[in-house]
Amino acid sequence: MGIELLEGLLAIYSPSHEEQLAVDYLVGAMRTLGYDHACADAAGNAVGTRGDGPNEVLLLGHIDTVAGFIPVRREGGLLYGRGAVDAKGPLACFVEAGAAFQPPPGWRITVIGAVGEESESNGALYVCQHHHPQVLIIGEPSQWDRITLGFKGSLWLDYRVQHRVTHTASGQESAPEAAVRFWNGLKAWCDSVSDEARPAFYRLTPSLRSMRSDSDGFRDNASLRINFRLPPGVTLEQINAGLDQLKGDGELLFGEFIPAFKAEKNTALVRSFLAAVRKAGGSPVFSLKTGTSDMNLVAPVWGCPAVAYGPGESSLDHTPNEHLTISEYQKSVEILTNALSSLTSL
């Protein structure tokens, strides 16, 4: 199918919770490409398998995107569309590479387009319970010559504070002012526990995502929604203890805590990718991402060798200008095919 597989997948708008048409398309494409089995599982994930051995290489991508349809078009050597980078490009690369060779005896290749990665990761959580692979490859953009070994963790926090209404000339702190003071203190605390000399992967970084305030004439209310990107080793208890002294009379409401994950470098999987990138004329580079992916959820459970790989520049994730270089996509398919062939021949 070549780039047409990805082009067709991009044409189907599939934000989280609206993935069924894209799943149907991908299942049909896998059947056309010669997968032994292709279907939608009970969670709605698109699943295709080649081979029938006890050793499973699981290629886990995601088929959902963030909201905002981008008309699919080619301009020169570029392909535009929502999900071209994050992460239908890597997923289509998985499907093509899985179809490019027949797994040898003892091995099977499973490609999964998971639903819900941009929301609650329900697709990956289902996969986590029903598969036990020996090798894991996550579909996320890394550029063709980069191998991603880790992702930072994530934590959401809602801060809420309420004050009695006072006159603006009273000099007393309002609820919005209390919220601003909390945010400034939070940023200073995060800086104090992070080593600025270290790469971003190892620093605790907060991001203010929304702020609101209102009043009923008797009480002022203010709220902040904050996301933390977590380095390895940071616990929820540490963050709660650090912020408890800053909250004043406000309330801290923590969401789901997802720890950071960093894979081992000295594995047959990594060596297969290194060799494949060099064979394609590249100088392989290791990457640690400041975002979070399904790798954070499934890799610690399975405890198997893991990497993330896929074409695309991650700085284009979620942007109105999301696009992929067609030649990079094709080279990534070649590299992944060679890596799988090398890995399963060991």
CB 254 within 8 A of CB 194: no
CB 297 within 8 A of CB 124: yes
Q: How far apart are CA 288 and CA 232, in angstroms?
A: 11
Among candidate residues 213, 224, 227, the one with its CA nearest the CA of residue 290: 227
Last residue of a domain, one of 235, 258, 281: 258
Residues 136 and 243 both lie in one domain: no
What letter would DSSP give residue 117? T
Residues 109 and 22 both lie in one domain: yes
Residues 199 and 179 both lie in one domain: yes
Q: Is 52 one of the catalytic residues? A: no
Which pLDDT belongs to residue 284?
A: 97
Which pLDDT belongs to residue 236?
A: 95
CATH number at residue 254: 3.30.70.360
- Which residue among 7, 19, 96, 117 is the active-site one? 117
**What is the CB neighbour count within 10 angstroms for residue 197?**
7
As given in the structure block, the two tokens for residue 235 are 């616990």
Which pLDDT belongs to residue 1?
A: 58
pLDDT tens by residue, the chain, 346 residues: 579 999 999 999 999 999 999 999 999 999 999 999 999 999 999 999 999 999 999 999 999 999 999 999 999 999 999 999 999 999 999 999 999 988 999 999 999 999 999 999 999 999 999 999 999 999 999 999 999 999 999 999 999 999 988 777 777 889 999 999 999 999 999 999 998 889 999 999 999 999 999 999 899 999 999 999 999 999 999 999 999 999 999 999 999 999 999 999 999 999 999 999 999 999 999 999 999 999 999 999 999 999 999 999 999 999 999 999 999 999 999 999 999 999 999 7
CATH number at residue 89: 3.40.630.10
For residue 157, give its domain range: 153-258
CA distances from 34 to 51, 97, 103, 182, 258 (A): 11, 12, 12, 57, 37
CA distances from 114 to 16, 196, 201 (A): 10, 36, 25
Residues 138 and 8 both lie in one domain: yes
Residues 117 and 17 both lie in one domain: yes
Residues 25 and 145 both lie in one domain: yes
Last residue of a domain, one of 207, 235, 258: 258
Last residue of a domain, one of 258, 285, 314: 258
Residues 13 and 106 both lie in one domain: yes
Residues 56 and 161 both lie in one domain: no
Do β-strands 107-114 and 46-51 pair in parallel, antiparallel, or remain unpaired?
antiparallel
The model's pTM: 0.93
Residues 117 and 161 both lie in one domain: no
Residues 236 and 293 both lie in one domain: no
Which pLDDT belongs to residue 306?
A: 98
Residues 136 and 271 both lie in one domain: yes
Do β-strands 251-258 and 205-215 pair in parallel, antiparallel, or remain unpaired?
unpaired
Q: How far apart are CA 146 and CA 286, in angstroms?
A: 6
What's the number of domains the chain is made of?
2
pLDDT digit string (tens) for 128-170? Answer: 999 999 999 999 999 999 999 999 999 999 999 999 887 777 7
At CA 263, angle to CA 258 and CA 266, rounded to 5?
170
- Which residue among 56, 64, 220, 328 is the active-site one? 64
Which pLDDT belongs to residue 187?
A: 97
CA distances from 172 to 80, 95, 178, 179, 182 (A): 53, 62, 10, 14, 16
Do β-strands 146-151 and 285-289 pair in parallel, antiparallel, or remain unpaired?
parallel
Residues 50 and 135 both lie in one domain: yes
Coarse DSSP helix, strand, coil percentages of the chain, rounded to the nearest 5 percent = 35, 30, 40
Which pLDDT belongs to residue 28?
A: 98
Q: Is 264 one of the catalytic residues? A: no
